[in-house]
């Protein structure tokens, strides 16, 4: 009999009851049940080593378990998964009357480092836009409208920072000729004013003129298609963008519509825009969502100092190798 089995048997089969509930009431798959079993058997062994059981364990026992996992070098995401299993287990014991309290309810999860958004440099965006502009200018025949559409999409996206779903779903008449701003409805039905650059306005005007000549003249969408929605899909735009990135000499995996939205925000902050203004432009309900871009700038400054400051370790190493 394995240690895990001994731990399970010694604690009255509560784990089996919990797994049966997951299977019967939630329809958990076999792989899911196996993952829960592994995590909880490990936790039960931790309790047993401290002469506790799932019926006598306290919040301190759970904290000690998570701290031990951290000392072993377990990633925050893995510790969060283990805590989730423990929380659900104790919640089950409490609901079933097998415990009079839920010690896991007061445990805070490990803080996961928030990944910094991927962005392109100003030079990369300029190159991407220029290649798209040139492609639209050189295209002829049936490819002319498609090339103009992609260039218009890119100019609009970088000029406004729209979410890709907002961009592809723009109605035809939303961008009025010569108007420097337009209103878009974003998440939660919230409306916001979006400014346009001169380049974006020209790209829209040229594209709409072509659109009016073809079979899409009567479509209510700015970027119509034959799909179910009646307008270009996010996926199709993403595919075309990656092809254009390759043509511009940029690794396609670095580029997506969301990456250009990130670039819009980061480049504004680099040039002195305040966080509240960028929040409004992006349509974020909470400024904490926008603050991730300040971390991008901080990381860039840190790298700048490391690479160029005369007293930085990295620069000293580079000099010593010469």
Residues involved in catalysis: 163, 187, 258, 261, 284, 293
Angle at 226 between CA 220 and CA 229, to 5 degrees: 60
Sign, Cα dihedral of 130, 178, 226, 213 = negative
Counting Cβ atoms within 10 Å, is residue 183 exposed (0-12), middle (13-18) or buried (19+)? exposed
Number of neighbouring beta carbons within 10 Å of residue 289: 12
DSSP 108: P
Residue closest to 2 by CA, chosen among 36, 42, 29, 30: 42
Token pair 């990381």 in the structure block, residue: 299
295: CB partners within 8 A, 6+ apart: 114, 116
Helix (H) or strand (E) holding 191: strand 191-195
CB 315 within 8 A of CB 309: yes
Cα–Cα distance, 214 to 318 (Å, whole number): 59
Query: How far is Cα 188 from Cα 68, in angstroms, rounded to an integer?
Result: 42
Q: Contacts from 130-139 at CB under 8 Å and sequence distance 24+? A: 130/248, 131/244, 131/247, 131/248, 132/244, 132/248, 133/203, 135/244, 135/247, 136/206
Distance CA 26, CA 37 (A): 15
């Amino acid at each position: 009999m394995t240690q895990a089995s001994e731990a399970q048997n010694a604690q009255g089969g509560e784990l089996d009851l919990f797994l049966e509930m997951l299977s019967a009431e939630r329809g958990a798959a076999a792989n899911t049940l196996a993952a829960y079993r592994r995590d909880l058997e490990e936790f039960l062994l931790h309790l047993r080593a401290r002469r506790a059981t799932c019926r006598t364990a306290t919040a301190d026992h759970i904290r000690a378990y998570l701290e031990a996992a951290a000392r072993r070098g377990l990633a925050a995401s893995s510790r969060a998964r283990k805590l989730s299993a423990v929380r659900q287990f104790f919640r089950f014991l409490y609901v079933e009357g097998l415990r009079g309290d839920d010690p896991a309810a007061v445990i805070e999860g490990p803080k996961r480092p928030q990944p910094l958004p991927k962005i392109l440099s100003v030079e990369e965006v300029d190159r991407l836009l220029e290649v798209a502009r040139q492609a639209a200018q050189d295209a002829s025949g049936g490819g002319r409208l498609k090339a103009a559409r992609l260039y218009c999409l890119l100019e609009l996206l970088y000029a406004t920072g729209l979410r890709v779903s907002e961009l592809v779903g723009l109605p035809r008449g939303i961008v009025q000729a010569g108007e420097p701003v337009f209103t878009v409805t974003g998440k939660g039905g919230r409306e916001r004013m979006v400014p346009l650059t001169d380049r974006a306005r020209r790209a829209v005007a040229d594209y709409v003129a072509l659109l009016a000549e073809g079979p899409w003249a009567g479509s209510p969408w700015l970027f119509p298609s034959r799909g179910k929605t009646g307008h270009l899909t996010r996926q199709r735009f993403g595919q075309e963008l990656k092809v254009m990135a390759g043509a511009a000499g940029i690794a396609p995996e670095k580029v997506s519509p969301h990456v250009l939205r990130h670039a819009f925000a980061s480049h504004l902050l680099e040039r002195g825009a305040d966080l509240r203004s960028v929040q409004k432009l992006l349509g974020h309900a909470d400024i904490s969502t926008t603050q991730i871009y300040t971390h991008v700038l901080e990381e860039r400054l840190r790298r700048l100092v490391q690479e160029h400051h005369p007293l930085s370790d990295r620069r000293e190493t580079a000099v010593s190798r010469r």
